[in-house]
Amino acid sequence: MNYPGKLLQTKTLFAFALASVLIGSLVQQYLGRGKLDEPNCDFYVYYFAAQIVHDNPHANLYDGTTSKSPEMLNAAASSALSIYATRAGIGDVMYYLYPPLLADLLAPISRIPLNLAATLWRTLNLALVLASVILLANMLRIPILSFEFVALLLAGYSFFPIHEALMTGQIALVLLALWTAGIAAYRDGRIVLSAAIFALATALKVTPILLLPLFIIWKDRRWIVSYLSASLGLLSAMIAINGGQAIRIYSSVLSAMSGGIPSPINKTLGSLVSWVYYGRIFTTYSIQEIIANQPSYLLIAARVASGAFYLFCLFLVWRSRRIGRISRAAAIAVFSLVTLCVSPVSWRHGYSVAFIALAYYWVMALRNPRTRTLHAVLLTLTTFTTGCIFVEAVVDAAVRYLLPQICIIFLAALWVAFSMLFSVSVLYHVSEDSQISGKGKDIGGEVYGL
């Protein structure tokens, strides 16, 4: 086996992937691709929700959100959220669809003028991306004063979902920092801290709860007890602050969002099923009617497909359940991708957390001369489709110029398809790669999925 040749191949693929991410960020910023008409639009929702709970912690944050797929609707003019937005000179604002905790935590800054608060939020998000990169560098034993760290930092700030989350003021970057910190803590053996961090992430956005079966498979009772205890504490705090009714209504909101949205910017397996069923991709304007009239059997099919993929990934974890803690931490990083693919709604910016797994496995691949060619190719394709705007721009152009729908569906599906294939590839090979890691020289911990 020509190991030096394989390493050169991996480095070439990495150079292509990194260049694509960096150039894509420049194109998005300076050539108008994917620019937003309303910067900070997501932060506005959090800000006005925070104002509501600041004035009345027991107020109804979810007025009007229990209708089908509220993610695609502007808040009704009669809702408290819309009234607060109108007072601040904002004409349209989306509904608040998060647990009350986010609004509670932001209540202290809700008295600050909107523009200043948005600037502070953007500054915090920039700092959280930096913190995430530093934590990743520490996990991967990358010195801060090194070319590798500079490449990691540039990739982080240029990664398309992160870039988009920064522009919209999305909570995704808080979740990126929490996922990174939770993985780092677990890898270092700080089990209780890791569980508490993921409990907080779950209290801000529910999908991290899908990690719990991993620790049941691994029989990590300490993590499970700590996670459940921290989650119960956070739930009790929300009930004490916002009242039990807020939690009951939010459970209805979750049910309303569970139908999925076959939008090209909703990157989930459920969306892919819907695109294939309808035989077309929908625009933002045409999708409202489709959402209101989706047949029940299509929703069931989407949930079955998502559930089957999730259970298959859990089976692969169970199959190699005797791996060490460092490899388990890498599995958690991979499940950041898995949870996004199976969630009913995962907007593009939600894939910010995918940066953890991609960065981790690129570093491992570049350090390991025995990296499988298929692994390196899937890593490259996943990075290219999720990390830069080019494929999204092609999809947008294909819709605009009325190319055949089968081509548009194929292009739009690449994001989810490669994320799924990469996740399965890594999880499938974990057992043999963990054995290899114990025989070779140390390359920053156990080699997981290479």
Tell me what the mean pLDDT of segment 346-373 comes to: 92
DSSP-assigned letter for residue 347: B
User: Among 229-238, 286-295, 319-328, which stretch is predicted with the lowest mean pLDDT?
Assistant: 286-295
Q: Is the separation of the CB atoms in 374 and 425 below 8 Å?
A: yes
User: Among 173-187, 240-254, 387-401, which stretch is predicted with the lowest mean pLDDT?
Assistant: 387-401
Give the SS3 label for residue 94: strand
Tell me what the mean pLDDT of segment 378-399 comes to: 89
Give the SS3 label for residue 4: helix
Tell me what the mean pLDDT of segment 75-104 comes to: 86
User: Among 107-116, 281-290, 429-438, which stretch is predicted with the lowest mean pLDDT?
Assistant: 429-438
Tell me what the mean pLDDT of segment 272-293 comes to: 79
Provide the pLDDT for residue 449. Answer: 40
Amino acid occupying residue 132: S
Q: Is the separation of the CB atoms in 363 and 147 below 8 Å?
A: no
Provide the pLDDT for residue 399. Answer: 74
Residue 369's nearest CA partner among 1, 16, 6 is 6
Taken in order 315, 316, 320, 321, is the CA torsion positive or negative?
negative
Q: Is the separation of the CB atoms in 366 and 10 below 8 Å?
A: yes
Per the structure block, which two tokens stand in for 385?
């489709």
Q: What DSSP string describes 28-49?
A: HHHS-TT--SSTTHHHHHHHHH
Q: How far apart are CA 80 and CA 88, in angstroms?
A: 13
Q: How confident is the model at residue 297 (pLDDT cuts 50, 70, 90)?
A: confident
User: Among 216-225, 227-236, 400-409, which stretch is predicted with the lowest mean pLDDT?
Assistant: 400-409
Q: How far apart are CA 389 and CA 392, in angstroms?
A: 5
Q: What number of other Cβ atoms are within 10 A of residue 433's Cβ?
A: 24
Q: Is the separation of the CB atoms in 62 and 336 below 8 Å?
A: no
Contacts of 42 (CB under 8 A, 6+ apart): 94, 168, 169, 170, 171
- The full 3-state SS of 192-244, as one line of letters, equals HHHHHHHHHHHHHCCHHHHHHHHHHHCCCHHHHHHHHHHHHHHHHHHHHHHCH
Q: Does residue 93 come out as left (phi exceeding 0), alpha (psi in the -120 to 50 range) or beta?
A: beta
Amino acid occupying residue 165: A
Q: How far apart are CA 422 and CA 357, in angstroms?
A: 10
Contacts of 185 (CB under 8 A, 6+ apart): 191, 193, 194, 197
More confident residue, 2 or 63: 63
**Residue 90: exposure state from Cβ atoms within 10 A (0-12, 13-18, ≥19):** middle
Provide the pLDDT for residue 442. Answer: 37
More confident residue, 440 or 316: 316
Q: How far apart are CA 61 and CA 53, in angstroms?
A: 8
Q: Look at residue 36 and tell me whether its pLDDT is greater than 80.
A: no
Contacts of 284 (CB under 8 A, 6+ apart): 72, 263
What average pLDDT does the structure give for the chain?
A: 87
Cα of 398 vs its chain's centroid, Å: 26
